[in-house]
Each structure stands twice: as C-alpha cells, then as structure tokens.
Structure 1
Amino acid sequence: MLINEVKGMKAFKQEAKEMGLGLKDQMHAYVYLRWTARYIHWLRNHTMPNASAIKKKHWEEHYHSKVLPLELAEAIISLDHDIPLTDLEQIVPYELARDILLSSPTDVALYECGCRASAKNPCQPTRVCMVIGKPFADACLEINPDKTQRATPEEALKVLREEEARGHMHTAWFKDVNLGRFYAICNCCKCCCAGLQAMNEFGFRMISPSGYSARLEEDKYKSCGKCAKACPFGAITFEDKKVHFSYEKCMGCGICTSTCERHAWSLVLDAEKGIPMDVSKIPVQKKEAVAT
C-alpha cells in the first residue's frame, strides 16, 4: 500500500509541476478536461474554419492522434503493466506530445465524447472516450463525475468492439498540456469527430496513420459499396459499381476490413505509413519496491 497516495487533479498538478508546465498550461488542461465539449465546440466552429497555415501547424503539434486498428486498441486496454517511453517521434510523428508514459493502465474511465456532445444530433452512445491510466482517469472522475464512469478492462473492450461494429475507428490521443503524452483512446465516427472534420474539411494534420494500409482482393469483392460508405477518410469511393482506392488518403484504420462481409479488404504493415503503436512490443517496466 502506498503511503499518502495522491490522486486526481492533485496528482495531475504535481506531475505537471515536475515536468515544468506553468500555471497557464495547467489551467488550459483543467479547462479541457472539465469542459471538453465546449472546448471542442469552440475549435470546431471558430478555430478550425479560420486557422492560418501557422495556426494549423501549432494545433497539429500540440494536439494530435494516432490511428489504432482494433487489435492495437485492445492491446492497450488489456495492458497489466506500466509503460515508460518518451520521445517516440517515429511512432507519433510530431515535435511535441509524443510520450507513452502509462501508469496503472488498468485504470480506465469512460468519458463523454466531447466531439459527440458538441455535435448536432450526435451518434449514440456518447460515453465512448476511454481515459487511460493515472492521473487522467482519476482526474476525470473527480471533476466530471456526472459524465464519467469507472470501467473494468473487460467493459472497455466491450465498448471498443461495439464501436468497431458501428463502423467507428479508434485513435490514441496526445496533448501537450495533458502532460505531453498519450491519455485516451477515442472511438471516432465521421459524422461527429472534430479531428476528422479538421483533417477532411480544413486540412489539419491532427491524425497520423496507423502504420498499416488497406489492400483489396478484387476476386472477393462483390461491389456492394459498404466499404466506401464506411471509410472515415474518403480513401475508398464507389462509382458505377466499381471501387476506387486512394492509397494517399488511407490511414490504416481497418474499418473497411470489419465492414466487408466477404473479407475482401485486409490491413498490411506499411513503412510508408509510419510505425504502429503496438504496446505488445514495448518492454515491461519493472516497478521498484515501495516501503510501507
């Protein structure tokens, strides 16, 4: 048992001070975690439509995500050990906020998705964002108890798979003021997700590819067009009963593979799409004994 264990926002502030985040950044993080839907509503309706190239670059570097095929998202939820990796530019190709410092990853909180909550006629359910590990899960439960619930890994896996079945992709999110590291898995629908809107409509590069790309076995394809309708990046189009694939737009989310009833689509490792965020290949961090 830890003596005087610090939790929630107090633990968040303590870590923030240790890494040199000032009061302004700490307040920014609090506002983001406390009023996520309002924060994203402002981005969606004011920042994104009017952003200059310089402003876009700023947001991309400070607030971004990595696409996760279902298997890699499940691997994060299933972790039973801490992960201490910093400066992962090859996996998270941005200058800032690219650490994976998972502490107590079995601590998971299901949080109301700010994108869905700020959208008109949002997809249901809305409580599908997964805040992972300490201090983030405790902080969200503390400051947003009416929008957050504790979840077991099994419950979180169930939500992941249900969202996959709905055609929603999975992303790992990083933010500079959120201690400069990975803090949540979001389950993103193309009708509500502000990150997808920022990318597809306004040219922000807030989402990085998974390290995979899609491949089609044409002899299995039956020209139903379901994959084109499901693809969140517009990489698959369907015209005159023919499928067209844009390699450049493909981010390797795998939604085409789970949508296709004939298994015509598959994901393949692709160095041109970066390195996967595969926590199963990250060494175990051995904890030191703590005096009680």
Structure 2
Amino acid sequence: MHIPFIKPSTRNYFRMARSQGMPLFDRLHGYVYGRFAYHYIGMAGDKKPWWRFLLAPLVMLLNRHSPFLPTKGSSTGDPAQEKPTFADTYHGKAMPLAEASKLVRLDRPVSTRVSEQVLPYTRARDIVLANPEKIVLLDCPCRSGMKNPCTPIDVCLLVGEPFCSFMLEHHPDKTRQIDADEAVRILKAENARGHVAHAFFKDVILGRFYAICNCCACCCGAMKAQRAGVQMLCSSGYLAEVDQDACSGCGTCVRLCQFKAVGLRQGKAFIRAKRCMGCGVCEQACAKSAITLRLAPEKGEPLRVDAL
C-alpha cells in the first residue's frame, strides 16, 4: 500500500526490515532511532532539555523489550550469564585509521558474516553494505547534545543504504552527501585531534554496520557508558606498545588518549593494557614512531576490511 506522506526512504527501511524477518516492534524502534536521533542519542548530553524526561523511559522500554535480545548465556556461550546486556544490541568497535579509511572506500557491495571474536556480541554481526559508495556526513548527535561540544560537529560518517537516504530525507539541515576522499580527510583530521574512529552497529538498523563515529571522551555517549560499566565499545583487536628507546617522553600520546590508557613513567610513555582499545591514535600522533600496534588475540580479532 502506498501512503503518499511517508517518505520513500522510510518505506524502503520498513520493506528491507520486513524482508529480513524483523518484528514490527523492532522496525518501529529503528524508525524512532533514525527519525529522532538527536533526541534518542542526545539524551547522553548535558543540555538536559525538557523532552529528555519524557523520551528516556521510551528508549529504555524499546531496548529492554526488544525481541532481538539474546537468550540466557547466548552472548558469550557462558551459561553463567544471566541476562544480555545493552551492548548486545548496540555497540561500537574501535578501528585504527587505516582500516576505517578502507571501510569508507569500499567500491562494491559486501554481504558477509563475521565471527564472534571480531564482534563479540550476539546481534549486529552482519556486515551488509548496499551501495557502499554512498556516504553521508552527519552532525554528531552526541556533540549536538552538549552545551560546549568538541568541534567540528559534522564528523559522523553514515555508510550504505537504507540509512544514508533515510537520514538525508529526515535531517536535511544536519546531513550532506560526500565522497570517499572527503570521508578519509575527516577521519584523518579527527584522528589528529585524538578522536577515535568506531564502527557502530545496532540491531534495529538491520543488524549491521551503519556508521563510523569519531568519538571524544567528553561528548560521546558510548564512551560515557563504557566508563559507567556498560560495555558498549569493544577493542580493535590490537594493543599499543612503546619502544622505550625511541620514546622522547613528550607526552602527546598521554594527552590525546581518550581511554587514559597511556601514562608517563620516568620520562617514558607506557601502556595500560587493560584500558587500551587499540584505536591507534597514539601511534599516529607519535613524532618518534615509538608506538606501534600489535595483534592482541586476548582482546578479540580485528575487523580487517580487506578480508571482507
């Protein structure tokens, strides 16, 4: 049935979600998430608008009662796990600059399934990019919800359909379509500011990767949740290491690390392994090339774009 006042991108989203067997409740959840992104995500900010107190219970209800939540023990295979976490349905994976740049340069459709070690959550393990050449730049909902946000605001990269067209149609004042070259320039500029590229996944966005967000600890809702014990972010699968002989002790890596994983000891940088997410910001920033990333199987497998 064609309803003239419903935008084409909305019809396309519901059609694709229904074809995947997504329950109506979750289809509506996905619509609310995209249509009211600045309310939904902006609640983590410090502006505290009046509608926050009305919308917060709805968002909690949508996430708590999602039929897509895994059953007991299914997230990790551990029967001792009593219930799934919020991160089972909504999370981000840190990506070094080189891999994030590859992800926005994909020139062919990709449909594959990645392992639990790459994305250690039950839902959102499908990487599905229809029309990967379509990239939309979005004003960051997290930064938009802050009184004094980091700048620039327009740093979130949406990749693929149907989400790109959906956000262009519903948020024309906060979005614009860009090419891969501009996307890479934005990734590099944000990396130089110390901001972390995360590939974000959400179950009701067709259970797939849909955005690369450039996250700062002061504004990002996912980073704030991480500090509060909600594991919304997972490691890139790499761990930073410092060559003590090459390190000059300048402290740039300490200043830029969003996870407080780098410290100085006796005039040399060192890595707090438990905190390190392997984002590579410190590696890129080190003028002496004293920091490198190594594979860290204990932290999961990296999302290697070439392997897709």
Deviation string for 1:76-135 (max 9, x for gaps)? 111101111135322110011111011111100001111111122111111111110111
Give TM-score scaled by structure 1 length. 0.87
**3-state secondary structure, aligned to 2:213:** strand
CA deviation profile, 1:225-254 (whole Å, cap 9, x unmatched): 121111111111235634342111111000
2:12 corresponds to which residue?
A: 11
Q: Aligned to 1:231, which of 257, 275, 283?
A: 257
* CA–CA distance in structure 2, aligned partners of residues 86 and 76 of structure 1: 15
Rounded Cα–Cα distance in structure 2 between residues aligned with 1:271 and 1:230? 25
Equivalence for 2:186: 159
8 A contact 1:252–1:267 mirrored in 2: yes
Q: Counterpart in 1 of 2:237?
A: 211
**Quick one: which amino acid aligns to residue 255 of structure 1?**
V
What is the Cα deviation at residue 136 of structure 1? 1.0
Alignment length (residue pairs) = 272
1:121 aligns to 2:116 (yes or no): no
Counterpart of 1:195? 222
Aligned residue for 2:200? Answer: 173
2:22 is the alignment partner of 1:21: yes
Q: 2:277 aligns with which of 248, 251, 256?
A: 251
How far 1:259 sits from its partner (Å)?
Answer: 1.7
> Which residue does 1:58 correspond to in 2?
85
Alpha-carbon spacing, 1:87–1:220, altered in 2? closer, same or farther (3 Å): closer
Match of 2:292 in 1: 266
Name the structure 2 match of 1:288. Answer: none
Provide closer, same or farther for how the CA distance between residues 28 and 55 of structure 1 changes in structure 2, counting only shifts above 3 A.
farther
Q: 1:277 to 1:87 in 2, by over 3 A?
A: closer
Matched residue SS, 1:220: coil
What is the Cα deviation at residue 270 of structure 1?
1.9
Distance 2:44 2:24 in 1: 22
Give the Cα–Cα distance (whole angstroms) in 2 for the partners of residues 269 and 136 of structure 1.
32
Distance 1:55 1:205 in 2: 16
- SS of the residue corresponding to residue 256 of structure 1 reads helix
Is the deviation greater in 108-117 or in 30-39? 30-39
From 125, 134, 147, the counterpart of 1:107: 134
What residue is the counterpart of 1:140 in the other structure? 167
State the alpha-carbon separation in 1 of the partners of residues 149 and 82 from structure 2: 28
Corresponding residue number in structure 2 for 1:286: none
> Within 1, Cα distance between the matches of 2:41 and 2:31?
14
Residue segments in structure 2 that go unaligned for 5+ positions in a row: 1-6, 47-52, 65-80
What is the CA–CA distance in structure 2 between the aligned matches of 1:106 and 1:206, rounded to whole Å? 27
Aligned to 2:96: 69
Q: Using the alignment, how far apart are the partners of 2:114 and 2:214 within structure 1? A: 25
CA drift of 1:43 comes to: 4.6
**Partners of 2:24 and 2:138 in 1: CA distance:** 25
Bigger drift between 7-16 and 144-153 goes to 7-16
Matched, 1:182 2:209: yes
Displacement after TM superposition at 1:150 (Å): 0.4
Gaps of 5+ in 1: 1-5, 283-292
Once the two structures are superposed, residues 127-169 of structure 1 have per-residue CA deviations (whole angstroms, 9 ceiling, x without a partner) of 1111101111111101111111001111111111111111111
Question: Which stretch of the first structure deviates more once superposed, 69-78 or 267-276?
Answer: 267-276
Whether the 8 Å contact between 2:125 and 2:207 is mirrored in structure 1 is: yes
Return closer, same or farther for 1:153/1:241 CA change in 2, 3 Å cut-off. same
Separation in 1 of the partners of 2:302 and 2:8? 31
Deviation at 1:44, TM superposition (A): 5.7
> Hey, what's the Cα distance between the residues in 2 that align with 1:188 and 1:55?
31
Would you say the 8 A contact 1:141–1:148 is kept in 2? Answer: yes
SS of residue in 2 equivalent to 1:261: coil
Distance 2:293 2:118 in 1: 18
For the Cα contact (< 8 Å) 1:7–1:135, is it kept in 2?
A: no
TM-score for the superposition, normalised by structure 2: 0.82
Which residue in 2 is equivalent to 1:98? 125
